[in-house]
């Protein structure tokens, strides 16, 4: 088991990609804490996954700095440390630039970009103290290609790559690595809400001619979280079927 005796926090872990990552980490022996803004959802998912290993759910709004500090401090107090942080929590509020409101822009920035800062800031001190840490930011193919109607989302997903690269330089000498995973279109609840005609177009543009599976993205996260990736720092692992080529 590649993550045995490791403590991992997965934000946005109640469903979709975050849930798949949590499942993969549990299968590799990690103790997993999933966070999500919806208290009922995070509790239900934790109960569902409990048969696979040690998992708990914590309700958390990643955009609220003080709340994240308290929540992560509680996790560290209970488990003694956070070895792995997967910054997965994210939302969309799509509109073309000419129609996008300030509220749509600000909400996505607050969760997808500020949230990554808040969560990492809350655990990095403990990682430095222990001399070990793995930070994994979930980006997107949109960070490389942009996407129609997603000014806000694409900006955040490019931003979390730059954050990871900056932290790689700042923290590498302290035993903490930071990397990003940039998925292509993946068969999650969020993507499956996209009209079928658009999904067909996306599939046609993807060299492997299909959507990704959450488990495939999760496998990339397992690798980056493992000791096998100890020399991988500041990297962007594209898992997109070749769409960003």
Indicate which residues carry an active-site annotation. 153
**Among the listed residues 224, 235, 225, 113, the one whose alpha carbon sits nearest the alpha carbon of residue 165:** 235
Residue 5's CB: how many other CB atoms inside 10 A?
Answer: 9
Single out the residue of 41, 43, 9, 12 nearest to residue 25, CA to CA. 9
Place of tokens 């490389």: 144
Tokens of 161: 């790559």
The length of the chain is 245
Residue carrying the six token digits 């469903």: 15
Cα distances from 62 to residues 65, 112, 184, 215, 231, in angstroms, run: 7, 9, 23, 24, 29
Closest residue by Cα to residue 112 from 136, 95, 94, 137: 137
Give the Cα separation of 165 and 147 in Å (integer): 22
Task: Work out whether the CA dihedral 9, 222, 174, 155 comes out positive or negative.
Answer: negative
Angle in degrees, 0-180, between the axes of helices 214-225 and 16-27, rounded to the nearest 10: 50
């Amino acid at each position: 088991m590649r993550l045995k005796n490791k403590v991992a926090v997965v934000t946005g872990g109640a469903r979709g990609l975050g849930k798949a990552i949590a499942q993969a980490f549990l299968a590799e022996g990690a103790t997993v804490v999933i966070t999500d803004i919806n208290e009922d959802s995070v509790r239900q998912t934790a109960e569902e996954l409990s048969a696979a290993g040690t998992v708990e759910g914590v309700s958390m709004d990643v955009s609220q700095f003080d709340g994240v500090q308290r929540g992560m401090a509680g996790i560290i107090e209970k488990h003694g440390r956070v070895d792995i942080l997967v910054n997965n929590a994210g939302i969309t509020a799509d509109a073309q630039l000419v129609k996008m409101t300030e509220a749509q822009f600000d909400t996505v920035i607050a969760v997808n970009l500020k949230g990554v800062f808040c969560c990492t800031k809350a655990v990095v001190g403990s990682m430095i103290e222990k001399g070990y840490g793995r930070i994994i930011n979930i980006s997107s193919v949109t960070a490389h290609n942009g996407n129609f109607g997603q000014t806000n989302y694409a900006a955040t997903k490019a931003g979390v790559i730059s954050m990871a690269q900056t932290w790689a330089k700042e923290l590498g000498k302290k035993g903490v690595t930071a990397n990003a995973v940039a998925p292509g279109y993946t068969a999650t609840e969020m993507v499956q809400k996209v009209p079928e005609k658009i999904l067909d177009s996306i599939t046609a543009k993807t060299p492997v001619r299909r959507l990704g599976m959450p488990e495939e993205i999760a496998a990339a996260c397992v690798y980056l979280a493992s000791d096998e990736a100890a020399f991988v720092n500041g990297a962007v692992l594209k898992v997109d079927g070749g769409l960003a080529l």
